[in-house]
Structure 1
Amino acid sequence: MSESTSAAVAPPVDDFEENRRKTKKALPALLTVFTLGQLMTQAFNLVFQNIGDSLGMSQQAALISTLPGIVLGVVCMLYGTLCDFISPKRLTVAGVGALVVGALLGFFGAGSFWAVVIARMIQVAGGQVCGSVFLVMVVKYLRDNEKSVYIGVFNAIFYLASGIGVLAGGVVSAFDWKFLFLIPLLALLVLPLIVKNTPDVSGLHQHIDWVGITLFAIIAALLAIVFSFPSVWLVVAIVVLGIVFGVYVAKAKQPFLTVSMVKNLPFMVLLSMIFLFCFFDFACVPIYNVIAADVYDISLTMVSVCLFLVYVVAVIVGLITGPIVNAIGRERTIILAAVMMVIGFCVSGLLVKSGLVLLTILACLFMAGMTLVYTPLYDSTSDSLPVEERGRGIGLCDLSMNTGASLGMAVYSSLMASPAFASVGFFGIEPGPNAAVSNMFWIMGLAALVTLLIFLAFRKRIRKGVEENAGE
């Protein structure tokens, strides 16, 4: 953005304090709706194959997770950007409305596979509004010593919702999965609090780059689709649109993704780290579905209980992440979290036949690492940008996280469905389901290791970039 436009984003001191007060008061309601939306995501990630089987669409079942994941990545970027221009209050009310519409469509259209998919896409789009609004408000309207604490709480809520989601998915699936769709109707209970407390701030006289946002959203969507439906033409379309978008950013007067953001090396490196660290985030739940059914032959309800315990650990880690970051610093926290992920994934691959209790403990380890890395990564990424670009920065962080997880889910589904992937096991793991699960864990561990090496290689440059914007 130009200097005159950017200057309009920074509020006067009195407005800052008022929005800071409202942001804190709006926290419970915003996080309640976000919790309901995330709960739905994890519940359906657990039971999507069961739904596909019941509707005669077994081969396409992963679409129940992948397509909403694509939508999630796109709307995260969109909401984060729009918070600079449109009242967050209006966005959140619209989000609750979409959540309710998706609930009703999914419940009454449960006999149609495509109605289920569309309902989930609508629910995901609605449920994410409050999460995106909250993160942007934290970055813009809370003091520096408050940011890591509130981002940690947000992350804890994310995993609390995930834990309740897998538990609900396991329990409800024993009756009728269509009742999962009705859970988000609880959001109506907190709608009055949202209307009363969410900051009603909009950017006046600012240009919304709809062309750039649309191009970027299409590219992100095609990237996710190509993994589920491989096609040379889709790859060509992505390359062509990527070139068009690059030319547009270079030539447009007020693109949402500015040239300065693209040239900001610390920001781009941190964005890629979020993408890689979160690549197999969605796959962490369904892989335990496979472990339950094919390795240990236990019920989905039992594995959902184990996963709930894993998410309890993640919630606790999320709540203490802020104090940890403040005590040992962002860099050491990122390294610690990455090491926990590498060890958790790789040892799970090595000991996949050593019992569900051990695998649950290892899941607690790598999930704790995934929880711990979120706060310092988001905090560092936003601080690597000037204040006027941080709303879009958060939107791009969310896009990177959710698109990465969606792509990872597509890769996971493709590999786990391939007979060749299960034909060879390493370190004494026999071919078949055991090998497939073990190999998948090794790949997850490799992704975490590569991300750690990227961070170590650019560590000093990232630190310099954050320090340069510290006084913004």
Structure 2
Amino acid sequence: MHTENNLQLTDGQKNRLIILICTILAFSVMNGTMFNVAIPDIAETFNLLPSEVSWVLTGYILIFAIGSLIYGKLADIYPIRTLITIGISLFSTGALIGFLSPNYGTLIIARILQALGGAAFPALSFLIPARFLPEQRGRVFGIVSSTVAFASGVGPILGGVIGSTFNWRFLFLFSVAAALAIPLFRKWLPLEEKREGTIDFLGAGLLAAMISSLLFFITSFLWYTALLFFIFSLLFIWRTMKAKHPFIEPEILKNMKYTTTVLTSFLGTFVLFGLIFIIPIMLRNLYGLSTLQIGLVLFPGAMAAGLIGQSGGRIIDSKGGALVVKVALILIGAGSLLISTFTGYAAWVIAPCLLISYLGFPLIQSATADLLSSVLPDEQNGVGIGLFNLLNFVAGAFSSAIFGSILDLNSAHIQFNPFAPAGDSILYSNLYIVLSLFAFLGLTVFTLMFTRNEQRQSTETPISYN
């Protein structure tokens, strides 16, 4: 459908597009990881409980999740250049409001605006290679994976330096600077015509309401939020079955390889976001580390992920995506188990344990994306990748909300890990055990369902003689 755009691009223009993708993703990723190390400072500024401050991340991720799928659908109708401009404008405006926010409510509004704009970044970064660089898609995904991992490494240390030198508000100024890239995006992205199409905004709204009510129930345990979740779930199912073009096409879920891969990615992302949320709070409460010191603990693992991300594409090409997914989940689970065991020891011991889990991050992201592109027909790639992004971000939102609520307890009386030291660290040690179990659950589900499906298909495929 878009091959005419591809034929008009020179090698220089293609390279500029790759730079665009990496630039917008770097801003998006660093915006998240910088705020991870600042969570304790924000909680102190507004006197918030862990479950309350979790909404700085959860609210952002929730809007980000729904928005990423909407932007993917909008890109089938409107030019990507227009969507990028709108996205960066909202992202930078939200950042400016966040910098000036006088209270917690204004801060949440700022983060929502940022999410409304930032949701364009991951959605369009997948679509740009597919639309304009189809013959280089594999290479671009490898570069993108490396960029995400590298930005994840730079984010904590940059957030720590800015937060400790000034304060957490100045982290927003970094995101305001994204607006400077709008002229370059408008110059480098090809012109496109507006196309026909519709979006089920009612279905999108019902899905957002369904997820929001569940998150509110997780953080508040109010009975009426559970009732709202049940009502919105029924309405969303009704809308999906009745709409001519529903927000999420149920047909795609009949592909078992796709469903298994998405579920596996959901569990892996749940664990990674849980680690990213719990670690800074633990390092502040248990070890009394400053924002900069928290960033230094996170830095080695994130940078190691950046290095392995550069070769992730080659590993997948030579060994296959399914094997790499299994290795990634083993790394994530093993790292979480080690953190559980050594929580309570010196803070520097946490860094190499976290590094092991971080190594799984770029591997599972790039491997699942590669698998999805191979198990879906071309006409379902856009919707499939959009739903994949949506569920990953929802996993992150659930993880932050659930563990934020648990951390409100402040202590635990039962110790899950017999090798971990007793004392104030028991609650954190228990949470890391739970995270490792989720990682190994993902490994089990993927191994049983995906591999079995592959074997069934190989036995059913007839042999052809040429």
Mapped pair 1:235 → 2:226: yes
State the match for 1:79 in structure 2. Answer: 71
Deviation at 1:461, TM superposition (A): 5.5
Q: Partners of 2:367 and 2:456 in 1: how far apart?
A: 15
Distance verdict in 2 for CA 1:433–1:124, change over 3 Å:
farther
Q: Which moved more, 1:367-376 or 1:157-166?
A: 157-166
Report which stretch shifted further, 457-466 or 259-268: 457-466
How far apart are 1:89 and its partner, in Å? 0.8
Residues 32 and 187, structure 1, Cα contact 8 Å, conserved in 2: no
Aligned to 1:68: 60
Identity over aligned pairs, percent: 21
Aligned equivalents of 1:401, 1:18: Cα separation in 2:
34
Report which stretch shifted further, 426-435 or 98-107: 426-435
Which residue is 2:96 aligned to? 104
| Cα distance between partner residues in 2 of 1:352 and 1:88 | 46
Query: Which residue is 2:151 aligned to?
Result: 161
1:229–1:81 distance in 2 versus 1, CA, 3 Å: farther
Cα deviation digits, residues 374-420 of structure 1 (max 9, x gap): 11101212332221221121111111111101110111112222245
With structure 2 as the length reference, what TM-score do the two structures score? 0.90
1:324 aligns with 2:309: no
- Matched AA of 2:99: F
Letter in 2 for 1:149: R
Between the aligned partners of 1:113 and 1:333, the Cα distance in structure 2 is 42
Q: Does 1:441 find its partner at 2:429?
A: no
2:200 aligns to what? 209
SS at match of 1:204: coil
- Partner in structure 2 of residue 413 of structure 1: 404
SS at match of 2:271: coil
Determine the C-alpha separation between the residues in 2 that align with 1:428 and 1:457: 30
Contact 2:142/2:310 (8 A) holds in 1: yes
- The one-letter code of the counterpart of 1:229 is S
Question: Counterpart in 1 of 2:355?
Answer: 364
- In structure 1, the residue matched to 2:160 is 170
What is the alpha-carbon distance in structure 1 between the residues aligned to residue 457 and residue 258 of structure 2? 9
Counterpart code for 2:82: R
Deviation at 1:249, TM superposition (A): 2.4
Q: CA RMSD in A?
A: 2.5
1:254-311 CA distance string (max 9 Å, x none): 2232232132222222221121110033332343324433443433312211212211
TM (norm. structure 1) is: 0.89
Distance 2:41 2:49 in 1: 8
Matched, 1:31 2:22: yes
Structure 2 gap ranges (5+): 461-466
CA distance in 2 between counterparts of 1:118 and 1:276 reads 29
User: Does 2:113 match 1:117?
Assistant: no
Where 1:270 maps in the other structure, the secondary structure is helix
Is the alpha carbon distance of 1:149 and 1:220 closer, same or farther for their aligned partners in structure 2, counting shifts above 3 Å?
farther
Instruction: Summarize the alignment of residues 321-470 of structure 1 with structure 2, pairs less than 5 Å apart.
Output: 321-419=312-410, 421=412, 423-424=414-415, 426-460=417-451, 463=454
Whole-Å separation in 2 of the counterparts to 1:300 and 1:167: 9
Trace 1:189-268 onto structure 2 (pairs within 5 A). Answer: 189-201=180-192, 204-268=195-259
Could you report, residue by residue, the CA deviation over 1:191-219 in whole angstroms, capped at 9, with x for unpaired residues?
A: 22210122444562222222222222322
Quote the Cα distance in structure 1 between the aligned partners of 2:25 and 2:149. 11
Q: Distance in 2 between matches of 1:352 and 1:180?
A: 29
Does structure 1 residue 306 correspond to structure 2 residue 297?
yes
Please report how far the alpha carbon of residue 171 of structure 1 lies from its aligned counterpart in structure 2 after TM superposition: 1.9
Mark the CA change 1:388 to 1:199 in structure 2 (over 3 Å): closer, same or farther: farther
Matched, 1:94 2:86: yes
Check whether the contact 2:69–2:386 (CA below 8 A) recurs between aligned residues. yes
Looking at structure 2, the residues matched to 252 and 19 of structure 1 have their Cα atoms a distance apart, in angstroms, of 38
Which deviations, in whole Å up to 9, do the C-alpha atoms of 1:293-348 show, x marking residues without a partner? 34434333122112122111111111111011011111111111111112111122
